[in-house]
Amino acid sequence: MTIRLMVGLGNPGAEYEATRHNAGFWWVERVARQWGVNLRLEGKFHGYAGRASGQPECWLLLPQTFMNRSGQSVAALVRFYKIEPAEILVIHDELDLPPGGVKLKRGGGHGGHNGLRDIIAHLGTPDFWRLRLGIGHPGERAEVVNFVLKAPTLNEQIEIDRSIDQSLQRLDELRAGKMEAAMLALHTKPR
């Protein structure tokens, strides 16, 4: 099954642009530049959306509902274009991976990530693909909110950018739904 929707998670507004929580936005913005897709604010989808040319048809989406309500945006586009959960790739920041870490998986829980929690609630299933971009963990659970809403350090940013570069090398495989090949490449450590 091919991927027909790539959703980057983040928060709208200049004050959040450079924060760790917006790693998913950074990834989709890079894809939009690479593919020459113009992301336009679409009120009915509550976000910036654009369609990549070529086959299979693939939408890029940046929800503008704030992280905790990402599902509202995703569900609106998914229902309009009749996209199945298995045809969705959600790109998000991941506390459980160090900066520079990147993992691909299908299904599973939300792991405390409010964007994923809301998407699962709106779709009624966790059975969509996730590309998890590591941002590291502050060490204290009480510090998580403060941590994700701050900019990464320079070294962390370099590592996050490297993980984005690494995963974008698998973009054709991801779009074509060749997830096993993409996973093998992303999860195998270079020697």
Residues flagged as binding site for tRNA: 16, 66, 68, 114
- Closest C-alpha to 144, from 110, 101, 96, 109: 96
* Residue positions forming the annotated binding site: 16, 66, 68, 114
Phi-psi region of 150 (alpha: psi -120 to 50; beta: other; left: phi over 0): beta
Report residue 169 as tokens: 């090398």
Catalytic residues: 21
Rounded distance, CA 44 to CA 56, Å?
Answer: 23
As a whole number of Å, the CA-based R_g of the chain is 15
